[in-house]
Amino acid sequence: MESKKNYLTNGHTVGSWLLTIDHKRIGILYLLSVTAFFMLGGFFALLLRLELLTPRGDLFTSDIYNRIFTMHGVAMVFFFMIPAIPAAIGNFVLPIMVGAKDLAFPRINLLSWYLYIIGAALAFVSIVMGGVDTGWTFYTPYSSTYSTSAVTSAALGVFIAGFSSILTGLNFIVTVHKMRAPGMTWFRLPLFVWAHYATSLIMILGTPVIAVTVLLVFLERAFGFGFFDPRLGGDPVLFQHLFWFYSHPAVYIMILPSMGVISELVAAFTKKRPFGYEFIAGSSLAIALLGFFVWGHHMFVSSQSMYAGIVFSIITFLVGVPSAVKIFNWLATFYKGSITFETPMIYVLGFFGLFMVGGLTGLFLAIMAIDVHVHDTYFVVAHFHYIMVGGTVMGYLGGLHYWWPKMSGKMYNEALGRIAAIGIFLGFNLTFFPQFIAGYLGMPRRYHIYAEEFQIFNILSTGGAMVLGLSFIIPIFNMLWSLKFGKDAPANPWNAKGLEWTIPSPPTTHNFETTPIVTEEAYAYAPHDKGGH
Amino acid sequence: MMDFLLQYFPEQAGLLSAEVDAIYIFMLAVSLFFTVLVVALSVIFSIQYRKRNEKMPEAIHGNLVLELTWTGIPLLLTLFMFAWGTAVYIKQVRIPENAKEIFVVGKQWMWKIQHGEGPREMNELHVPINQPIKLTMTSEDVIHSFYIPAMRMKQDTVPGRYSFMWFQATKPGKYHIFCAEYCGTKHSGMIGSLYAMEPADYQKWLDERIKNPLEPVANQPASSSSVESPVVHGEKLFTELKCITCHSQTSGAMGPDLAGLFGRDVKLEDGRTVPADETYLRHSIINPADGIVQGYSALMPTYKGQVSEEQLLSLVAYIKSLQSKKN
């Protein structure tokens, strides 16, 4: 056993990585790629915040500023946030969690990474060609006929990266259905798997729509087909319907996996079965389903009909309820637990605070009367950063610290990990909380030059961004440090339940020497608990 | 205390500003309550149930009553938010009958505004207080959004269609107008000012502007037509563009009579029935073949590219006025 090669040492050539069909190695490839885009997107964010220190345009021209916020959004949304947890962490742990030796289609898994890389390369080409200035939302007819920037390559990049996400979703769904180990019934699946199953459904059903939509923009731009520009006989608002039909569910592609991570972390660090397991699992599916019927809440002031607005408003409130259910269930899991506070748990607590604010301000925006005022202001910017960074990134980093010993076979530095988690929480709040106030005061988003009375909030925000930026560097440093100086990780450093903790750290290429037979539910911590199912 | 709080609100200068702020304050209170609840419970549980020994805790599988409680309470609360928000929203979108008409055309990167009485302005909007103002808006190029924070009102202006927004200023003053929908290079420069004035001051301003119109601006015909009201201007265009040749009560079968058309339902050749609103009129001038009125044939040429958005607004205003004459 001991002399067996693990997945990291099983092949050292470049080819053994770039042509690997091992889900764990592909997970690592994704991890490296999304981290690169996170740093790129973060760098753009830093430039934005520096420019916004003063109401004037000091550092850049408006054209450059517009390109920077667009590239920040494109890099972060399409190339970091969407693939981060599913493709990097999910790829690595999901097959192990269900007791499989790999995903159902290992070659398709590799193909999906290559599609991501081709998409990313095209996005990068558009940066080299001078950048895109349409905003990550690509609203027509600006994007399709008016903008003179490198829209075409960016749109094609998003189009191709979309297929990577479809293939990952397909792979996860088939794996969960067909590759579960004997005894791994549906209600013994870890909640991380349930969350990824729900996410995969959205990836498969939603992503083709965005792919086709950006393709239509490309066709209008390149060949003058009239889909969206009224001068060509098109309808510009049609684009918004198509775009948000995907991009709102895409928010749940970003947040559901994070909720899955949080469920795992809460169980592992309270040493308890998550309270209301079925409700947490079911709420993931409810969110995925309802998420498809709320896209019109991005369009309350787009000249959409009043009646459509009312319907979208009420469904939006309904989708808020399952999120509340999750929070209360996690909290109830703390009750009578045996709680420890390693780094991942600090991220869980941070997630609670930030996701509460993000979720509740989502309700403000679902209220049409308020949305008419704050739509397209910094209030919206603050809200979705609380969800995306506060929700997704906290979950991502918490999960990364939790599974890092499994992935690398090394322990990171615990003190440094906790300092970073606290720094990110504080820096984040300082960056984005003032933006709620600036937004309600009426500061529109995507403004290079702004009215002077908003400056104080922007100074606070920029200060916070510095703290946030520095804190984000610490985990990267910590992980690299651990590779060289970290202690060797035991198979189960957290004393946690779950099949991934029953195999060595790092795992061998085939994960399990013999197919595991599952005899208990996912979170059988309690000595007397026979499991609910 | 009040002053301290008020600096976090834009000026309440519109009829509905306080109503929107009231919901906002309610939402802040609800949010504060739940955030404090969740944070407090996390902290209390974290301290109370921190690991004390190696014993594994008992599992608690769930509790149906609790689940129903924390599903039911948020559900009821959000339904209440929905009802209140929607009630105010309906007030925001239902335009009062007696509203004063003003036309807005967005263009990269300026706001072109024309009053019903004729005067034009650029990036400035003068209105009397205590009177509802109806904006009929469109865009010459990309999507813009007309936003007046002090009124808590915003509406996208979309090329190829008309959108509408109304507000009523309650307090004289100068307030921001912002473009809220990203529209390219100088998006953040597409700003202006709303001047809310006492009705008498406004009347003085209007009379002055009718006598001494602004210098004609780029892209606008340099004729003295800028002091004409849109209806008068539209009537002239109706003759100049030869609309009158077919669309008159005397010419018989060539084109439908337009008097009394606005607001009616129109039966089309392809079987559809559409309401003759501003957007329909505009579309029928630009793309006449898309909606041939029942009993007529597709004789009318397109005016696409031959009339500006401002001229279209004038033509639509004139056709609308034909209704009032007949009544």
- The interface predicted TM-score (ipTM) is 0.92
A530 touches chain B (CB under 8 A): no
Same domain, B110 and B206: yes
pTM above 0.90, yes or no: yes
Nearest-Cα distance to chain A for B251, in Å, is 31
Nearest to A139 by CA among B110, B135, B154, B158: B158
Residue-number span of the structural domain to which B307 is assigned:
228-326
Beta-bridge mates of residue B110: B107
Asked if B182 and A139 come within 8 Å (Cβ–Cβ), the reply is yes
CA distance linking residue B142 with residue B181, whole number of Å: 9
Q: Is residue B79 part of a domain?
A: no
**CB-closest option in A63, A363, A376 to B145:** A376
Domain ends where: B206, B222, B238? B222
Domain ends where: B199, B222, B245? B222
Q: What is the arithmetic mean of pLDDT over A148-170?
A: 93
Q: What is the arithmetic mean of pLDDT over B46-52?
A: 92
pLDDT of residue B280: 87
Percentage of residues in chain A having pLDDT higher than 70: 98
pLDDT of residue B322: 84
CA distance linking residue A52 with residue A450, whole number of Å: 8
Task: Tell me how far CA of residue A530 lies from CA of A82, A525, A533, B59, in angstroms.
Answer: 37, 10, 8, 10
Same domain, B218 and B238: no
Q: Is A276 left (phi over 0), alpha (psi -120 to 50) or beta?
A: left
Q: Is residue B33 part of a domain?
A: no
Whether the CB-CB separation of B260 and B318 falls below 8 Å is answered with no
CA distance linking residue B33 with residue B37, whole number of Å: 6
Same domain, B218 and B279: no
* Two structure tokens written together for A147: 């903008």
Q: Is A353 left (phi over 0), alpha (psi -120 to 50) or beta?
A: alpha
B58 contacts: CB under 8 Å, gap ≥ 6: A336, A526, A528, A529
Q: Establish how many alpha carbons lie within 13 A of residue B5's alpha carbon, considering only the half-sphere containing its beta carbon.
A: 6
Rounded to the nearest 10 degrees, the angle between the axes of helix A343-366 and helix A378-385 is: 150
* Two structure tokens written together for A436: 């709620």
Query: Three-state SS string across A241-257, please?
Result: HHHHHHHHHHHHHHHHH
Whether the CB-CB separation of A49 and A435 falls below 8 Å is answered with no
Q: What is the CATH number of the domain that holds B114?
A: 2.60.40.420
Nearest to A260 by CA among A290, A280, A288, A231: A280
Q: What is the arithmetic mean of pLDDT over A22-27?
A: 96
Q: What confidence tens digit (pLDDT) does each residue in A222-245 have?
A: 898 989 998 888 899 999 999 999
Between A121 and B219, the higher pLDDT residue:
A121
User: Which 181-200 residues of chain B touch chain A by CB within 8 A?
Assistant: 181-189, 191
User: Which uninterrupted H or E stretch holds A382?
Assistant: helix A378-385
Q: What is the CATH number of the domain that holds B252?
A: 1.10.760.10
pLDDT of residue B253: 57
Nearest-Cα distance to chain A for B243, in Å, is 22
Asked if A440 and B9 come within 8 Å (Cβ–Cβ), the reply is yes
Handedness of CA A245, A250, A251, A256 (dihedral sign): positive
Q: How confident is the model at residue B55 (pLDDT cuts 50, 70, 90)?
A: confident
Residue of A nearest to B35 (CA): A356
CA distance linking residue A467 with residue A465, whole number of Å: 5
pLDDT of residue B244: 82
Q: Is residue B93 part of a domain?
A: no
Q: How confident is the model at residue B222 (pLDDT cuts 50, 70, 90)?
A: very low
CA distance linking residue B168 with residue B166, whole number of Å: 7
* Two structure tokens written together for A134: 């349409």
Q: Is residue B115 part of a domain?
A: yes
How far, in whole angstroms, is CA A444 from its chain's centroid?
25
Query: Three-state SS string across A19-64, please?
Result: CCCCHHHHHHHHHHHHHHHHHHHHHHHHHHHHHCCCCCCCCCCHHH
Same domain, B158 and B233: no
Torsion angle defined by CA atoms of residues A383, A389, A395 and A399, in that order, rounded to the nearest 10 degrees: 180
Task: Tell me how far CA of residue B253 lies from CA of A244, B240, B270, B305, in angstroms.
Answer: 46, 21, 18, 27
Between B244 and B216, the higher pLDDT residue:
B244
Number of domains chain B contains: 2
Peptide bond into A506 cis (omega under 30): yes
Asked if A441 and B149 come within 8 Å (Cβ–Cβ), the reply is yes
Q: Is residue B127 helix, strand or coil?
A: strand
User: Which uninterrupted H or E stretch holds B192?
Assistant: strand B191-197
Task: Tell me how far CA of residue A506 lies from CA of A18, A519, A522, in angstroms.
Answer: 19, 24, 21
Nearest-Cα distance to chain B for A371, in Å, is 9
Same domain, B113 and B171: yes
In the predicted model, is pLDDT for residue A360 greater than 80? yes
Q: Is residue B17 part of a domain?
A: no
A337 touches chain B (CB under 8 A): yes
Q: Which of A265-274, A474-483, B242-251, B274-283 has the lowest mean pLDDT?
A: B242-251
**CB-closest option in A230, A303, A337 to B156:** A303
Q: Is residue B153 part of a domain?
A: yes
Q: What is the arithmetic mean of pLDDT over A267-281?
A: 94
Asked if A523 and B59 come within 8 Å (Cβ–Cβ), the reply is yes
pLDDT of residue B327: 43
Beta-bridge mates of residue B148: B153
Peptide bond into A141 cis (omega under 30): yes
Between A117 and B2, the higher pLDDT residue:
A117
Whether the CB-CB separation of B109 and B184 falls below 8 Å is answered with yes
pLDDT of residue A4: 67
Residue of B nearest to A353 (CA): B39
Q: In chain B, what residues touch A373 (CB-CB under 8 Å)?
A: 20, 149, 152-154
Same domain, B209 and B290: no
In the predicted model, is pLDDT for residue B105 greater than 70? yes
Same domain, B120 and B144: yes
Altogether, the residues listed in chain B come to a count of 327
Same domain, B190 and B232: no
Nearest-Cα distance to chain A for B207, in Å, is 32
Residue of A nearest to B11 (CA): A441
Q: How confident is the model at residue A529 (pLDDT cuts 50, 70, 90)?
A: low
Nearest to A347 by CA among A411, A272, A421, A419: A421
Same domain, B132 and B214: yes
Same domain, B104 and B206: yes
User: Which uninterrupted H or E stretch holds A347?
Assistant: helix A343-366
Nearest to B291 by CA among B305, B271, B306: B271
In the predicted model, is pLDDT for residue A108 greater than 80? yes
Average pLDDT, chain A: 93
How far, in whole angstroms, is CA B63 from its chain's centroid?
49
Domains of chain A by start residue, with CATH: 20-502 (1.20.210.10)
Domain ends where: B174, B193, B222? B222
Q: Is residue B140 part of a domain?
A: yes
Same domain, B182 and B252: no
Nearest to B191 by CA among B133, B137, B125, B110: B110
Q: What is the arithmetic mean of pLDDT over B102-107?
A: 95
Q: Is residue B64 part of a domain?
A: no
pLDDT of residue A301: 94
Q: What is the arithmetic mean of pLDDT over B6-23?
A: 92
Q: What confidence tens digit (pLDDT) does each residue in A463-504 have?
A: 999 999 999 999 999 999 999 999 999 999 999 999 999 999
In the predicted model, is pLDDT for residue A533 greater than 80? no
pLDDT of residue B2: 66
In the predicted model, is pLDDT for residue A438 greater than 50? yes
Same domain, B200 and B251: no
Torsion angle defined by CA atoms of residues A496, A501, A506 and A510, in that order, rounded to the nearest 10 degrees: -160
